[in-house]
Amino acid sequence: MAGVQSDRRNAPRREDPQLRGRRAQPRASILLGGSLEAINGRARVDLLEVSLAGARIKGRNLPGVGKNVILTCGRIDAFGTIVWASSNRRGIAFDEPISTTQLLGLRDASVSAERSGTTPEERQAMADWASGLAR
């Protein structure tokens, strides 16, 4: 992949007749642990942002652009494709949009986790246990 432009989020899309920018839907900034499964295995990830159509994640040894994946976070399993990669971060476009209820559930879970006073490591351990990575 060529160098990442710092203003890539604001760059117009060619197929956008109104040239509104790259984001077609609003995103919720969250911080939740989850897992990403691909043909070559499963990895722990932090879910950083989510919209109805996709997500931004961070993790180690993640699959590259074009790979099919399943993102699991809480009760949500979303099938998708890695559409961009930069260092330890990835962008996922979901095959089918998640529901507004699921999006709000993820946001609420993130807020609850932050308010609970648990450390990020404790939240990751809970997410690993829930997703089966700790078993």
Q: How many domains does the chain have?
A: 1
Measuring CA to CA, how many Å separate 66 from each of 28, 90, 92, 120, 122?
Answer: 24, 11, 10, 30, 32
Range of the domain at 85: 28-129
Is the Cβ–Cβ distance between 38 and 133 less than 8 Å? no
Amino acid present at 74:
G
- Domain for residue 1, yes or no? no
- Pinpoint the alpha helices (H) of the chain: 100-115, 120-131
pLDDT digits (tens, 9 = 90+) for 79-89: 999 999 999 99
Distance CA 127, CA 3 (A): 33
- Domain for residue 97, yes or no? yes
Q: Is the pTM of this model over 0.75?
A: no
- Domain for residue 87, yes or no? yes
- Domain for residue 42, yes or no? yes
In percent, the amount of the chain with pLDDT more than 90 equals: 47
Q: What is the CATH number of the domain that holds 74?
A: 2.40.10
Distance CA 113, CA 107 (A): 10
Predicted pLDDT of residue 129:
72
